[in-house]
A and B are shown apart, each in its own frame.
Chain A
Amino acid sequence: MHVVIINGSPRVQKYSNTDKIIASFAKGLSKKGASFETYAISNRKSWEIIRDAYIKNEEILIALPLYVECIPGLLLEFLETLPRKNEHTRISFLLQSGFAEGCQLRCGEEFLAKLPEYLGVRYGGCLVKGDNFGIRLLNEEKQEQITKPYQAMGELFTEGDGFLREEAKKFTGPEYFPLPVRLIMQLVFKTFGKKMFQKAAASWGCAVPLDKKIWG
């Protein structure tokens, strides 16, 4: 199996959470003897090369962050430039988000499930996983640790069913958090969570409150 992996995030690759997820996923591919090539749409200059890889290959994986309940505007723009292909080509998706629960990504997933038909190609399923906001804030070692579960999904992918497998569905985790968990998290958000974000902001050179109002 040879997989063309396209990072659909608009963020520069260096800070891209999706990029770190792809790296782990690709380890799983390699482990099972599959090969891959990776691209990122964040750099417009590479769009022609990515299009060319899309045209020449039949196993495509687009990994992307959820942007306002759907796909990022930049990825929409890129997709509009793709030529129509046929059912020999299969597109699978890896949709990730900052929000943690599965229910947050379902509206985006619905769009992705319908997209292959517009492109003339087959749908290989969508791996859905939240709780990824913090990846970029970690050091390299911790990034590797936190993205490790994606490696098993890479291995699963080589079995040929895309993400149309029970294991891939389960990977999402809880659809909603149970009430006791929500109550604890709510408390954390208001206390430790706020401090943690303020600390992260300070390390970026921010000296004002994160909820500062710019306009009255």
Chain B
Amino acid sequence: MVLMIDTTIKHIGKQIAEELLHNGGNPAALELIDTAGMNISHCVGCNYCWLKTPGICAIKDDYTPILKKMSKADQVWLISDTHFGFLSYQTKNIVDRVMPLVTMYLKFKDGQMRHVMRYDHQPDIGIIYTGDGDQAYLERWCGRTALNFGSSSLGVFPAENRKEAVLCML
């Protein structure tokens, strides 16, 4: 399943989803979440999802169903505006709150400390961004973040190159 999470002010996710379907994408294997109007808090770092109620976020808001979908998706596409060359805070909040998918337990992988993931299946992660994003930095960040989840980066694409991103979704 391809999951797109769109936090952009111009709601560009809809257009990208249409392009994917136009290119032969399977509508049953696509889900677009536009976060406009949704109540999604930032992560408050309480560690409850690791130590008190493992796998369950203490914050009850509109993020809960998003997290469940992320855990089952094959691809998660963050569709984001940019600020300081990076993702918008709205998108970063969504990423920060994936911690229930991670356990407290640690291991070494490729010479670095990693958390043991809670589920066997991990989604690959890609970014489509609007505005003046720092392409090289976003690529580094996306690669590192995927590494944390034991998955792969799907790539980072400015919105005008979204057709290339769509090809990675098929």
Q: Is B113 engaged at the interface, CB distance under 8 Å to the other chain?
A: yes
In the complex, the answer to whether B137 meets A206 with C-beta atoms within 8 Å is no
Bin the interface of chain A by size. Answer: 35 or more
The 7 A-B pairs at the shortest CB distance, nearest first, are namely A73-B93, A76-B89, A11-B45, A73-B92, A77-B89, A214-B55, A74-B42
Q: Is A120 engaged at the interface, CB distance under 8 Å to the other chain?
A: no
In the complex, the answer to whether A115 meets B71 with C-beta atoms within 8 Å is no
Q: Is A80 engaged at the interface, CB distance under 8 Å to the other chain?
A: yes
A68-B145, A103-B112 known; A73-B54 Cβ under 8 A? no
Segment at the interface with A among B9-17, B24-32, B97-105, B159-167: B97-105
CB 8 Å contact bits of A33-70 with B (1 = contact, 0 = none): 00000000010000000000000000000000101111
In whole angstroms, how far apart are the Cα atoms of A79 and B85 in the complex? 13
In whole angstroms, how far apart are the Cα atoms of A68 and B147 in the complex? 11
In the complex, the answer to whether A10 meets B45 with C-beta atoms within 8 Å is yes
The answer, among B44, B45, B118, for a CB contact under 8 Å with A213, is B118
**Chain A nearest Cβ from B4, distance in angstroms:** 19
CB 8 Å contact bits of B133-166 with A (1 = contact, 0 = none): 0100100110011001000000000000000000
In the complex, the answer to whether A204 meets B51 with C-beta atoms within 8 Å is yes
In whole angstroms, how far apart are the Cα atoms of A31 and B112 in the complex? 37
Q: Is A1 engaged at the interface, CB distance under 8 Å to the other chain?
A: no
Secondary structure at the B interface, as helix, strand, loop or mixed, is mixed
In the complex, the answer to whether B52 meets A201 with C-beta atoms within 8 Å is yes
Q: Is B111 engaged at the interface, CB distance under 8 Å to the other chain?
A: yes
In the complex, the answer to whether A176 meets B111 with C-beta atoms within 8 Å is yes
CB 8 Å contact bits of A201-212 with B (1 = contact, 0 = none): 100111011111
Tally the A-B contacts, defined by beta carbons under 8 Å: 145
**Chain B nearest Cβ from A172, distance in angstroms:** 15
Number of residues from B at the complex interface, CB < 8 A = 50
In whole angstroms, how far apart are the Cα atoms of A201 and B54 in the complex? 9
**Chain A nearest Cβ from B127, distance in angstroms:** 13
**Residue in chain B with minimal CB distance to A208:** B54
The answer, among A9, A79, A99, A209, for a CB contact under 8 Å with B45, is A9
CB 8 Å contact bits of B74-92 with A (1 = contact, 0 = none): 0000000001111111101
Q: Is B95 engaged at the interface, CB distance under 8 Å to the other chain?
A: yes
The 8 sampled A-B contact pairs (Cβ below 8 Å) are A69-B141, A70-B141, A71-B92, A76-B89, A77-B93, A80-B83, A182-B111, A197-B51
Contacts of B107 in A (CB 8 A): 186, 189
In whole angstroms, how far apart are the Cα atoms of A206 and B106 in the complex? 19
**B-contacting residues, A171-216, CB 8 Å:** 176-177, 182, 185-186, 189, 193-194, 197, 200-201, 204-206, 208-215
**Residue in chain A with minimal CB distance to B149:** A68
